Amino acid sequence: MQLVRLERRGDVAVLTIANPPVNAIGTAVVAGLASAIDRFEADRSYKALLVHCDGSTFVAGGDIGSFDDPGFSAAPFNATLDRIETLDRPVVASLHGSVLGGGLELALACHWRVALPSTKLGMPEVKLGLLPGSLGTQRLPRVAGIKLALDMISTGRNISAQAAKDAGIIDEVSDGVPLETGLAFAQALISRGGAARRISTLIIPPGGIEADFFATAANDARTKKSFYPAAAAIVQAVQASTLPFKDGAAVEARLFEELRQSRESMALRHLFFAECEAAKVPGLAKDVKTRPITKVGIVGAGTMGGGIAMNFANAGIQTVLVETSQAALERGLGMMKGNYEASAAKGRLTTQQVSQRMALLTGSLDYAALSDCDLVIEAVFENMELKKQICARLGQVCKSGAIIATNTSTLDVDVLAQATARAQDVVGMHFFSPANVMRLLEVVRGAQTAPDVLATVMQLARKIGKVAVVSGVCYGFIGNRMAEVYMREAEFLLMEGATPSQIDGAVESLGMAMGPCRMLDMAGIDVGAKTVIEYGKAGGLPPDPTYRAVVRRMFELGRFGQKTGAGYYRYEGRKPEEDPETARIAKELAGTHGIAQRSEISRQEIIERLLYPLINEGFKIFEEGIAWRPGDIDVVWTAGYGFPDHKGGPMFYADSLGLGVIADRMAHYAATRGNAYGYWTLSPLLQKQAGERKQLIDSKAGTS
Ligand code: 3HC
Ligand code: NAI
């Protein structure tokens, strides 16, 4: 297929990029651009050049996959942009869709820009741990001003076509077909004798920003975004736009290359593709017909039910919540209204939007209200007997073809599916708290889940703005199964004498959003303890009396975490404070169970004991086919559990550390702590890969 075409339309040469799905710029497109420019240069009968793209979008960026090539260089594309800018006849870019990164850089090398009203423009490279490497840091400040340019490049946010026009980034907003609006603009330009304009020749006037603007920005980047080297580099590159163009360009080129090779950027690029991959379900035919979802029912309007309902109302889908009492229903609906009003107070929603969303949410005490729903999600207490009863009832009440989903955190989805007596319609939809905020949705495929049910839920997830990952059935699925071993070690460390803040501080020093103690205090120690108790009832726990002893004791004492003002920490509002009572409880448990306390537990030991068993569990999950790809596990932990994205998720991190290191340290803990319950037993896959000095990405395990 020809990726770049040059065709005549009267006096105008039309350069079309056709590289689906998003017209990303790679080596072949750059070569195509260069040859099209050669032809345009050679034919003096053309009066203008129009650059536009086929398909749903203008160029949405450089080809992210190509950044991993050892021989990658931004220089050929940059030289091509230079050639476009120096052309002596006017060059117009006609923009539509997502004009991002290298796409906006291409547009800025053109002399004039016209965009459809729906166009979004931005430089999202920072999200990949990069900065714009094709002169975006130099050209954008020259048209948009330093402040807006630094803001756009540092946040990676998109702006609308109108905002871009107001900021001087584009010249006209015009509705229609991109090729035709571009041609009309170019012809008008020719008629009025419009000439070439070159952003690189503009000089940013001194002043306009505070004297300490760059110093403050650099300091903020270093202190508030210390895990992300791109943040400080972006400030430096944008500051260099005040230098002569070629000097600034040299600064940008050096910084881009450093970032491209950084671990952080590699990790973030890995996650970009892992998220794209996660949406693909192996073995599911592309043309499988999905079931229409126009009305959703939710059983239980508690913490999760309420948050889940908001997702659907936000997407304009009518939602009914069923509860056991009027009081519970009103509490749930009140919580949703309160959340929406808080968003309105922050200017994120209009009062009209609040009313529209609340109008989509209704409540009922009668299961009959669920009979016309296309999807019903149960979100009642984590109790197998109760959930089985509810599922049996849903199997009867729900209309034929309706999907029945469970939001269980840990329970066996196949058992619940059997209870409905229509297992093919059943799937797990495991949302994360707060369900209206967290991006992750674990989609749990049961043994009998129908392909169209899986496809419908994956499509719906996208519609409500979630990143969905498919998991097989096992205790806790991907995320909570790994969290279980992480919590196990956190509790052992507490009993050995570490404080909650030492434990949390150790993993937070790696960039974890929140350590395990703060996390459970927030999610609710009662929720965590009940899960462990249920698992015990199902015979899943090891015969170890010390297993998760702390969470159970805290639960007995009514220390449920933030909601009761005390858990692992004590709370002043939402602020956690170290609580001597926790140390006392842990010491008492250590005494009861004969666990020796130590005055000094190193940060490194805490990190290893929390993360290496978690990684080991991830290997087992992959090996057993519960997760299809290591990247799926990484998406679960970064999108759902605050694992640092700059480390790429636990499985990518494991490869970065070296599997041999993990295997050695697991062996060390097995020897020093004992391994009676198999806590330190390596997954066969981890053992094999480490033994062969290979990485996880080299393995072919899994079921895909
Ligand atoms: N490079 C390579 N592949 C890309 C890509 C890119 N820049 N952008 C998207 N793709 C791929 C996706 O991986 C996906 O592939 P798949 O079909 O095999 O899974 C496919 O294009 C479609 O992507 P989406 O499913 O995300 O499509 P949407 O329609 O939902 O979204 C989009 C489109 C808004 C363009 C979104 O894909 C996006 O945000 N892409 C990333 C844009 C970006 O980061 N650009 C900057 C790149 S870095 C750069 O330009 C450096 C420069 O300064 C030199
Ligand atoms: P919750 O206690 O806040 O809410 C449960 C709601 O279910 C209550 O309002 C209760 O009145 C209602 N309920 C109980 N029996 C009912 C019945 N027969 N009919 C209708 N409503 C009934 O619990 P939460 O935290 O919302 O948890 C719900 C489910 O979500 C559980 O399975 C839990 O494991 C899971 N989950 C919880 C997460 C969390 O962080 N809280 C995260 C992800 C999943």
What burial class does residue 513 get, using C-beta atoms within 10 Å of its C-beta: 0-12 exposed, 13-18 middle, 19+ buried? middle
On whether the CB atoms of residues 586 and 495 are closer than 8 A, the answer is yes
On whether the CB atoms of residues 434 and 307 are closer than 8 A, the answer is yes
100 Cα–ligand 1 center, Å: 9
Report pLDDT digits (tens) over 464-497: 999 999 999 999 999 999 999 999 999 999 999 9
pLDDT at 207 over 80: no
Peptide bond connecting 434 to the previous residue in cis, omega within 30 degrees of 0: yes
Catalytic residue among 7, 41, 85, 125: 125
Smallest-distance ligand from the CA of 330: 2
C-beta 129 within 6 A of ligand 1: no
* pTM of the complete model: 0.95
C-beta 413 within 6 A of ligand 2: no
Q: Where are the alpha helices (DSSP H) in 538-683?
A: 549-556, 580-593, 603-623, 630-640, 650-657, 659-673
Residue located nearest, by CA, to atom 18 of ligand 1: 276
pLDDT at 703 over 70: no
pLDDT at 314 over 90: yes
411 Cα–ligand 2 center, Å: 13
pLDDT at 268 over 90: yes
pLDDT at 574 over 90: no
Residue located nearest, by CA, to atom 31 of ligand 2: 382
pLDDT at 666 over 70: yes
Please give the mean pLDDT across all residues of the chain: 96
pLDDT at 701 over 60: no
Q: CATH number of the domain at 4-260, out of 3.40.50.150, 1.20.1560.10, 3.40.1190.20, 3.90.226.10?
A: 3.90.226.10
Buried b (16+ CB within 10 A) or exposed e, 440-472: bbbbbbbeebbbbbbbbbbebbeebebbbbbbb
User: How far is 570 from 525, CA to CA, in rounded Å?
Assistant: 13
Q: What mean pLDDT do residues 659-674 have? A: 97
500 Cα–ligand 2 center, Å: 27
pLDDT at 704 over 60: no
Annotation says 692 is catalytic: no
C-beta 379 within 6 A of ligand 2: yes
Best mutation site among 335, 409, 471 for ligand 2, i.e. most ligand atoms within 8 A of its Cβ? 409
Specify the fold of 479-625+628-698: N-(1-d-carboxylethyl)-l-norvaline Dehydrogenase; domain 2 (1.10.1040)
Report pLDDT digits (tens) over 168-182: 999 999 999 999 999
pLDDT of residue 200: 97
Please give the structure tokens belonging to residue 513: 């959003």
User: How far is 30 from 458, CA to CA, in rounded Å?
Assistant: 35
272 Cα–ligand 1 center, Å: 8
Report CA torsion sign: 346, 348, 353, 355. negative
C-beta 135 within 6 A of ligand 1: no
pLDDT grade, residue 286 (50/70/90)? Answer: confident
pLDDT at 342 over 80: yes
Catalytic residue among 105, 378, 484, 491: 105
Annotation says 257 is catalytic: no
Report pLDDT digits (tens) over 528-553: 999 999 899 889 899 999 999 999 99
Question: Which ligand 2 atom is the nearest neighbour of the CA of 332?
Answer: 9
Smallest-distance ligand from the CA of 55: 1
Phi/psi at 456 (5° precision): -65, -45
In the chain, what are the domain boundaries? 4-260, 295-471, 479-625+628-698
Torsion of CA 453, 458, 461, 462, to 10 degrees: -140
pLDDT grade, residue 699 (50/70/90)? Answer: confident
Q: What mean pLDDT do residues 372-392 have? A: 96
The continuous run of DSSP H or E covering 132 comes out as none
User: How far is 700 from 115, CA to CA, in rounded Å?
Assistant: 46
Q: CATH number of the domain at 295-471, out of 3.90.700.10, 3.20.20.70, 3.40.50.720, 3.30.470.10?
A: 3.40.50.720
pLDDT of residue 208: 82
What are all long-range contacts of 520-524, with beta carbons under 8 Å and residues at least 24 apart? 520/487, 520/551, 520/561, 520/567, 520/568, 521/561, 521/562, 521/567, 521/568, 521/569, 521/571, 521/576, 522/561, 522/562, 523/433, 523/561, 524/303, 524/560, 524/561, 524/562, 524/563
647 Cα–ligand 2 center, Å: 33
C-beta 26 within 6 A of ligand 1: no
What burial class does residue 256 get, using C-beta atoms within 10 Å of its C-beta: 0-12 exposed, 13-18 middle, 19+ buried? buried
388 Cα–ligand 2 center, Å: 14
Q: What mean pLDDT do residues 636-645 have? A: 97
Q: Which of 148, 162, 149 is nearest to 118 (CA)?
A: 162
C-beta 141 within 6 A of ligand 2: no
pLDDT at 68 over 90: yes
Question: Which ligand 1 atom is the nearest neighbour of the CA of 62?
Answer: 50
Report pLDDT digits (tens) over 2-21: 999 999 999 999 999 999 99
pLDDT at 163 over 90: yes
pLDDT of residue 205: 80
Residue located nearest, by CA, to atom 24 of ligand 1: 276
Phi/psi at 135 (5° precision): 75, 10
C-beta 562 within 6 A of ligand 2: no
Residue located nearest, by CA, to atom 34 of ligand 1: 98
Phi/psi at 429 (5° precision): -125, 95
pLDDT of residue 26: 96
